[in-house]
A and B are shown apart, each in its own frame.
Chain A
Amino acid sequence: MAPDCTPFERQLIEGCRKGSPQYQEMFYKHFYGFTMAIALRYHPVRQDAGSVVNDSFMKVFARIDRYSFEETFKGWLRRIVVNTALDQYRKHIKHTQTVEYEQAESQDIEVDESVISQLTAEDILTLLQHLPDQYRMVFNLYEIEGYSHEEIAGQLKLSVSSSRVYLVRAKEKLARLVKSYFPNHNERFHS
């Protein structure tokens, strides 16, 4: 049994493998929050994220037979969602012009550590929403999913150096965003 699977989840997976609509519904509702959270990191617009989620579940129901309980189910599911989000991004990027973003400011940004530790998931999603698409993609893939720059370059059709640059700029921009959105920890949490 997969290490992260509860007996209930295993039951859901087995039910989906049999093609039972009831189990599919339960599966969908059970994993909806997990997949939506991943999708929102890549596509902050709710509608786009919903589309990624639904497409991901389509793939999951179609390929659930291929899942072997050797790896964690959530890892398998996460990979599907991320790949679907990348597909959507690639589809979207075809119709949008790539713009060269502004150079990062060279000055150091000082952010209170307590501010960082108090950032909630919603705050982080809001911050990510303010990142340019390419920065957000590279940041998510590198820092959260653990992809290498070579892999990211391959996935996003970038050069490896661009991927590195985008990551640095994404981090700097995030820090600036944290600073500008939450300038004073005390004001925010104790007022």
Chain B
Amino acid sequence: MKDSIHKRLTDHIRKTVGRYELPYEPGSWEEFQRLQRRRRQQPVIWFRYALAACLLLGILGVPVWFYTNKSDGTQLAVRSPKSGLSGQRPLHPSVENRQRVGAVLPDRIAAGANRTEKPLVRSAKGTSTETKEKNAANRQDEYEQNRFENQNRGGVNNRLEIADRLPKNRFIQPETPFNETRQTRISADLPAESSTQTASFAFINPRSIRFLQHPLRPLSLPLSIWKNEPAVAKIEPAKTGPKPVWGVSLAPQSVYAAGSSPSVAVGGGLFSEIPLSRKFSLSTGLSMAQQKLGTKEAGLMVFSTVPQLVSTGIRLTSVDLPLNIRFRPGRLASKGFYAEAGLSSLAFLNEHYAYTYEQTRQETISVMGTNGQEVHVTQLVTTQQTTTQSAPAFQKIYWGRIINLSIGVERRLGTQFRLSAEPYVKYPVGPFTRENLMLGSGGVSLRLGFQSGR
């Protein structure tokens, strides 16, 4: 019975809903179209954002890349040995391993002069170069180990403690004065031709004397004169040529479009200047400005039952990508003057339009007449209606639609910063925006630039 009811119910449902169709609901197709458009635009919008991000990255990245390249080229000028060793000739082991020279190693001295005499004797006997190298390497190892320990243990107190812990008889006054020992050992380790090769081997007379006056005091000299590298002179890239400048800009401006009254806006952004030659440089950047405009339609009809467009309120958030050539005229360049010309490409983050329509219609109203009776009078009533429309972000990129012309003056602030004021005009070459406006602007761009390395 139960199954029978279920079967009958199921059969009926299957039969009924199988044939069932709903009537079309008005507006469904339009909704479907909206959905379709949104899905189609989704990847395009992402592509536009990605493109904008790439542009920004490119603009800001190029100067950094330029700068990095130049920094990589920082040259280290190695002072060539006085002996005339140069070119491909391999340096003497003592030059290659500068720290191997153990003449002033404190622990070596502390360990006793007997041990230090051996190589001297050997070298005096004309030990081969290989043996000398081995000895020097051993001494270097010992020195490195002791120095590492001392450094790790920290300051003077630690070193004093270490000195106290050492057996008192461990320190033996060198038989020869320290200066002499050091001199002798240098001369022992180095062949004659390279004994006075570099400034690295300069004597440290005052300190060594002090050391000898306080023999129990552990040698706390950092010996920083023993540089890990040969005497070098860093050639600053700033001296070798100009470097890119990048910074921020702020631009109060007046915006105008054909048929509109000028309005004031403020823009700002990032810029960079890439030197091309002594007089020319490439100036680019990315700036944004929010611009508001109002246009009024001419020739209004006095009486019309049809709504007439009377004005349009426009609010734009523009992204400007200029590409200018900056010229520094010879004499005026020293005073910081320059001129710039180029083209700008534009896109809009937001385009908002408010259209105001006006409609005049007749209305009959009742008024009290002069004779005290009600009189019907027809009057014209004007009503306004505003509709708004917006365009999606980066709907279109308008390449090279604006000519940029400017002159400017630049002043240095310190060694790295530059402040410039640049009156400019942006003149539209062709119409752009969704409403095909000939939109131009003029103002003063204030720029704070940064040039690293100077």
B1 to chain A, nearest CB (A): 6
In the assembled complex, the Cα of A110 lies from the Cα of B9 at a distance in Å of 12
Q: Is B18 close to A, CB under 8 A?
A: yes
Contact of A54 among B12, B16, B22, B32 (CB under 8 A): B32
By the criterion of a CB under 8 Å from any partner CB, how many residues of chain B are at the interface?
27
- Assess whether A32 is in contact with B28, with CB atoms less than 8 Å apart: yes
- Assess whether A124 is in contact with B17, with CB atoms less than 8 Å apart: yes
- Assess whether A32 is in contact with B31, with CB atoms less than 8 Å apart: no
**Which residue from chain B places its CB closest to the CB of A120 in the assembled complex?**
B16
By the criterion of a CB under 8 Å from any partner CB, how many residues of chain A are at the interface?
34
Give the interface SS of chain B, mostly helix, strand, loop or mixed: helix
Contacts of A15 in B (CB 8 A): none
- Assess whether A108 is in contact with B1, with CB atoms less than 8 Å apart: yes
Q: Is B36 close to A, CB under 8 A?
A: yes
Given contacts A41-B17, A175-B9, list 8 more A-B pairs with CB under 8 A. Answer: A28-B28, A33-B23, A37-B20, A37-B21, A37-B22, A58-B39, A109-B2, A113-B8
Contacts of A156 in B (CB 8 A): none
Q: Mark B15-38, 1 if CB is under 8 A from A, else 0.
A: 011111111110011011001100
Given contacts A33-B23, A50-B31, A108-B1, contact A119 B12 (CB under 8 A): yes
Contacts of A73 in B (CB 8 A): none
User: Considering the complex of A and B, which 5 residue pairs feature the smallest CB-CB distances, nearest first?
Assistant: A121-B20, A33-B21, A33-B22, A171-B6, A36-B22
Contacts of A175 in B (CB 8 A): 5-6, 9
Contact of B21 among A34, A57, A109, A120 (CB under 8 A): A34
Q: Is B13 close to A, CB under 8 A?
A: yes
Given contacts A109-B5, A175-B6, contact A32 B16 (CB under 8 A): no
In the assembled complex, the Cα of A172 lies from the Cα of B8 at a distance in Å of 12
- Assess whether A171 is in contact with B10, with CB atoms less than 8 Å apart: yes
B357 to chain A, nearest CB (A): 30
In the assembled complex, the Cα of A108 lies from the Cα of B4 at a distance in Å of 11
Contact of B9 among A25, A108, A121, A178 (CB under 8 A): A178
Q: Mark A162-178, 1 if CB is under 8 A from B, else 0.
A: 00000000011011001
Q: Is A125 close to B, CB under 8 A?
A: yes
Q: Is B227 close to A, CB under 8 A?
A: no
Q: Is B115 close to A, CB under 8 A?
A: no
In the assembled complex, the Cα of A30 lies from the Cα of B2 at a distance in Å of 40
Q: Is B14 close to A, CB under 8 A?
A: yes
Given contacts A29-B24, A33-B21, contact A54 B31 (CB under 8 A): yes
- Assess whether A110 is in contact with B5, with CB atoms less than 8 Å apart: yes
Q: Is A116 close to B, CB under 8 A?
A: yes
B39 to chain A, nearest CB (A): 7
Contacts of B21 in A (CB 8 A): 33-34, 36-37
Contacts of A53 in B (CB 8 A): 28
B270 to chain A, nearest CB (A): 41
Given contacts A116-B8, A119-B12, A175-B6, contact A144 B23 (CB under 8 A): no
Given contacts A121-B16, A143-B10, contact A111 B22 (CB under 8 A): no
B36 to chain A, nearest CB (A): 7
Q: Is A117 close to B, CB under 8 A?
A: yes
Contacts of B23 in A (CB 8 A): 33
**Which residue from chain B places its CB closest to the CB of A177 in the assembled complex?**
B9
Given contacts A32-B28, A111-B9, contact A144 B14 (CB under 8 A): yes
Contact of B29 among A29, A108, A119, A172 (CB under 8 A): A29
Contacts of B31 in A (CB 8 A): 50, 54
In the assembled complex, the Cα of A40 lies from the Cα of B21 at a distance in Å of 10
**Which residue from chain A places its CB closest to the CB of B19 in the assembled complex?**
A121
Contacts of B32 in A (CB 8 A): 28, 54, 57
- Assess whether B12 is in contact with A116, with CB atoms less than 8 Å apart: yes
**Which residue from chain B places its CB closest to the CB of A146 in the assembled complex?**
B14
In the assembled complex, the Cα of A38 lies from the Cα of B164 at a distance in Å of 96
**Which of the listed residues B8, B14, B21 has the most CB atoms from chain A within 10 Å of its own CB?**
B21
Q: Mark A46-59, 1 if CB is under 8 A from B, else 0.
A: 00001001100110
- Assess whether A50 is in contact with B17, with CB atoms less than 8 Å apart: no
Contact of A58 among B2, B8, B29, B36 (CB under 8 A): B36
Q: Mark B34-52, 1 if CB is under 8 A from A, else 0.
A: 0110010000000000000
A43 to chain B, nearest CB (A): 14
- Assess whether A37 is in contact with B17, with CB atoms less than 8 Å apart: yes
In the assembled complex, the Cα of A120 lies from the Cα of B6 at a distance in Å of 17
In the assembled complex, the Cα of A37 lies from the Cα of B23 at a distance in Å of 10
- Assess whether A54 is in contact with B10, with CB atoms less than 8 Å apart: no
Q: List 19 A-B contacts (CB under 8 A).
A: A28-B29, A32-B24, A32-B28, A33-B24, A37-B21, A37-B22, A54-B31, A58-B35, A58-B36, A110-B1, A116-B5, A116-B8, A119-B12, A144-B13, A144-B17, A171-B10, A174-B9, A174-B13, A175-B6
Given contacts A25-B29, A54-B31, A144-B14, contact A116 B9 (CB under 8 A): yes
Contacts of B12 in A (CB 8 A): 116-117, 119
Contacts of A116 in B (CB 8 A): 5, 8-9, 12
**Which residue from chain B places its CB closest to the CB of A36 in the assembled complex?**
B22
Contacts of A143 in B (CB 8 A): 10, 13-14
**Which residue from chain B places its CB closest to the CB of A118 in the assembled complex?**
B12
A139 to chain B, nearest CB (A): 8
B231 to chain A, nearest CB (A): 70
B10 to chain A, nearest CB (A): 5
Q: Mark A113-139, 1 if CB is under 8 A from B, else 0.
A: 100110111001100000000000000
A69 to chain B, nearest CB (A): 22
In the assembled complex, the Cα of A165 lies from the Cα of B395 at a distance in Å of 54
In the assembled complex, the Cα of A52 lies from the Cα of B381 at a distance in Å of 49
A18 to chain B, nearest CB (A): 17
**Which of the listed residues A25, A34, A50, A121 has the most CB atoms from chain B within 10 Å of its own CB?**
A121
